[in-house]
Amino acid sequence: MEVWIEKVNGSSQVCEVYKPLQDPLVSRCSEIVGMNEENPSLREKLSFAAKGLVSKVFPKPRRAWLPTGCLKLLDTLHQTLPSMSLIASDFSYLPDVSIPGDRAPLVSSKKDGKTLDHPNYLDAQGDADIFFPTDFLLLEQIDHHCSGFSKDQMKRGAFKPVKSRRTIILDSAAFMEEFGMPLKTRTKDGYNPLLDDFRNTKFYLSVPTHNKK
């Protein structure tokens, strides 16, 4: 199911309405999210087991926010610049998110100089900011998908599929240690803003390989 936002009886109030899945971008994102379910890693197996246990105790539909805008962007980049080198950075998680769902956003607004976090994005109209954390593992999957690599290539008896992109995900501190100049930004008391600030951010690097037809 996908969520539509509709007005309530012609008023200014809006509500969520669940409808059968029909948006092509949502459908593609759903397929990408489930790409490695047939051969999950140990971490994913543990995650699936934990979620399965929780769902038995507290059964409810799984709610997820999908990065359709990211999918559209990477589609455009790969179609226009198939041999591009990509460096992207963003928040990998956000604190105090009260909105339910996987990859849910932080919705906040400022009033009289104070920040107010909203428990429901439907109530946040006007000047509210909506911050989505980036799921970097999903970003990597979307990147490979848009470059032409998909689960359809992983057929039994076929040669191991070869990806056309080399990718790596780094914490911001690790990225700055490798590519920045942290020795020149360290303060007298040992504090280093280049390494110590923005702990909840990551970098994503993606470059083409020689495995091109």
Q: According to the model, what pLDDT value does residue 192 have?
A: 92
Q: How confident is the model at residue 172 (pLDDT cuts 50, 70, 90)?
A: very high
Strand pairing report for 106-111 and 129-131: antiparallel
Helix (H) or strand (E) holding 71: helix 68-80
Give every strand in the sheet of 165-171, ordered side by side: 86-91, 201-208, 165-171
Residue 10 Ramachandran class (φ > 0 left, ψ -120 to 50 alpha, else beta): left
Asked whether 67 and 175 are in contact (CB, 8 A), the reply is no
What pLDDT shows up at residue 53?
Answer: 56
CB-based burial of residue 109 (10 Å sphere; 0-12 exposed, 13-18 middle, 19+ buried)? Answer: middle
**How far from 40 is each of 37, 50, 73, 137, 167, CA to CA, in Å?**
5, 14, 27, 13, 19
Note the pLDDT tens digit of each residue in 99-117. Answer: 999 999 999 988 888 988 8
pLDDT at 176 over 80: yes
Percent of the chain with pLDDT over 70: 79
Please give the torsion angle defined by the CA atoms of residues 152, 139, 107 and 64, in that order, rounded to the nearest 10 degrees. 20
Verdict on whether the full-model pTM lies above 0.95: no
DSSP string of 95-150, one letter each residue = TT--S-SBTPPEEEEEETTEEEE-S-GGG--SS-EEEPPP-HHHHHHHHHHHTT--
> What are the residue ranges spanned by the domains of the chain?
1-36, 67-93+135-212, 94-132
The three-state DSSP-derived secondary structure of 3-22 is EEEEECCCCCCEEEEEECCC
3-class SS of residue 208: strand
- Comparing CA positions, the residue from 89, 93, 88, 87 lying closest to residue 105 is 93
Answer with the residue of higher pLDDT: 209 or 50: 209
Residue 204 sits at φ, ψ, to 5 deg, of -125, 125
Kindly report, residue by residue over 118-144, the tens digit of the pLDDT. Answer: 888 887 777 889 999 999 999 999 999
